[in-house]
Amino acid sequence: MSFLSIRNLSASLKGRPDRILRAVSLEVAAGEVRGLVGESGAGKSMIGKAVLGTLPQSVVITGGQIILDGTDLLTLPPAVRRTRIGQLCALIPQDPLTALNPSRRIGPQITNRLVDILRWSRRDAQTRARDLLAEVQISDPDRVMRSYPHELSGGMRQRILIASAFAAEPKLIVADEPTTALDVTVQKQILKLIADMQARHGTAILFVTHDLGVVSKVCQSLSVLYAGLVLEDTSIRDFFAGPRHAYSRALLAATPKYTDPDGSLTPVPESVIAATRAEVAAADDAMSDRGRNV
């Protein structure tokens, strides 16, 4: 039984016909690391936001189910849904700069969630925070807990966010492009950290990224998205051995490999884009037909 089961999830912009998600279906088992890849605007971030209940005001879910640990989140009343998500899920955000409150010390930012929402005692929360900071290889947790975000480097802030995400032992973490804003050496440290933490805590991760290199290092399976439509859904081995979908192949070809001396960077060819767009249009027609027949 999958821990997270998204079935035919569709979403669009409020009051407009533009579809953001097109009958997205995917399954994530407990402890599995699933990658969501695609270009910017493909909807991969939106899936994560839909699961966490943080979709922007302008986007509305038009159909489908998000089944988390057996319960469809979309059928729950908002307050119950938020509590459920808070207990089971967490987020590792993209930008370590804006994700931390600049006017509060680090310590309260980690412990507050545990104390206020999950009803831990302050002492337990602080011990937990300290342990986690040590776990993410911060050498002086007490000093860091007393610091403000601007006193710390980008890499350290991202570690704090990771620690924060694992604090309440969530069953599912949505990592929304967690290393896109970091330079390549820091990215490596952070990815390894996430992989280690995941292995140790057994958390499932929905890993959103546009970088296929990153996906091949952290994930066990991936879904390729284009314009809100899932094009391919497969294991990492199978994908990198030879992707089935033409668009996936094109993405792989576009990724620069420094080991390739003549590496030509071929952007996704127009023909592939046209074919994929046709596929999206066909999916839209199928969805409308189903809507009419219901």
Partner 1 sequence: MLDGRARITRPWSPRLVLSGSWLTLLVAAALLAPWIAPKDPLAQDLFLGRMPPFWATGAEPGYYLGTDSLGRDVLSRILFGARLALTVALIAGSLTCIIGATLGLMAGFLRGRVDVLISRMIDIWMAFPPVLFSILLIAVLGPGLISIIIAIVVIDWTRFARVIRAEAMAQGAMDYVASATVAGRTRLSTMLTEILPNVLPTIVVLLTLEMGISVIVEAILSFVNLSISTDDPTWGGMIAEGRTSVYQAWWVLVFPLVTLFLTVLSFSQLGEGLKDRYDPVLR
Partner 2 sequence: MSDLYQIENLRLSLADMTRKPLLGAAPRLEILKGLNFTIPKGEILGIVGGSGSGKSTLGRALVRLLEPAGGAIRFDGIDITHLTEAGLRPLRRRFQMIFQDPMSSLNPRHRIGQIIAAPLSLHGLDNTRALALEALDHVGLPRAFASRFPHELSGGQRQRAGIARAIALKPDFILADEIVSGLDVSSQAHVLNLLEQLVKDLGLTLAFISHDLSVIRRLCTRVIVLHHGVIVENAATADVFASPQAACTRELLDAIPLPDPDQVWV
**Closer by beta carbon to partner 1, 150 or else 200:** 150
Residue 110 C-alpha from the chain's centroid: 20
> Could you say which residues in the range 21-80 bind partner 2, by CB under 8 A?
38-41
- Residue 184 is a binding residue for partner 2 (CB under 8 A): yes
User: Considering beta carbons, is residue 146 or 150 the nearer one to partner 1?
Assistant: 150
The span of 65-73, 84-92, 214-222, 275-283 binding partner 2 (CB under 8 A) equals: 214-222
C-alpha span between 157 and 172 (Å, rounded):
21
CB of 74 to partner 1, least distance (A): 26
| Partner touching 226 among partner 2, partner 1, none, CB below 5 to 8 Å by kind | partner 1
Structural element, H or E, at residue 159? helix 154-166
Burial 234-273 (b: 16+ CB within 10 A, else e): bebeebeeebebbbbebbebeeeeeeeeeeeeeebeeebe
In degrees rounded to 5, what are phi and psi of residue 42?
Answer: -75, -15
Q: Which of 257, 278, 288, 291 binds partner 2 (CB under 8 A)?
A: 257
Tell which one of 41, 213, 256, 267 touches partner 1 (CB under 8 A). 41
Q: Is 42 in the site for partner 1 (CB under 8 A)?
A: yes
By the 8 A CB rule, do 28 and 17 touch?
no
Write the DSSP assignment of 174-215 as a string of letters: EEESTTTTS-HHHHHHHHHHHHHHHHHHT-EEEEEES-HHHH
Q: Which stretch binds partner 2 (CB under 8 A): 9-17, 65-73, 75-83, 205-213?
A: 205-213
Residues whose CB is less than 8 angstroms from the CB of residue 211 and which lie 6 or more positions away in sequence, other chains included: 37, 179, 180, 255
Which CA distances in Å does 100 have to 5, 108, 162? 30, 11, 12
Please list every residue from 220 through 249 that binds partner 1, using CB under 8 A.
Answer: 226-227
Distance (Å, whole) CA 244 – CA 234: 9
Q: Which stretch binds partner 1 (CB under 8 A): 36-44, 59-67, 94-102, 135-143?
A: 36-44
Rule CB under 8 A: say whether 234 interacts with partner 2.
no
Distance CA 26, CA 30 (A): 13
* Minimum CB distance to partner 2 smaller for 1 or for 241: 241
Q: Considering the complex, state which of residue 7 and residue 249 has its C-beta at the smaller distance from partner 1.
A: 249
Rounded to an integer, what distance in angstroms lies between the CA atom of residue 95 and that of residue 179?
8
- Minimum distance of partner 1 from residue 219's CB (angstroms): 23
**56 is a site residue for partner 1 (CB under 8 A):** no
Binding mask of the shown chain, residues 168 to 207, with x at each position contacting partner 1 by CB under 8 A: ----------------------------------------
Residues that bind partner 1 (CB under 8 A): 39, 41-42, 226-227
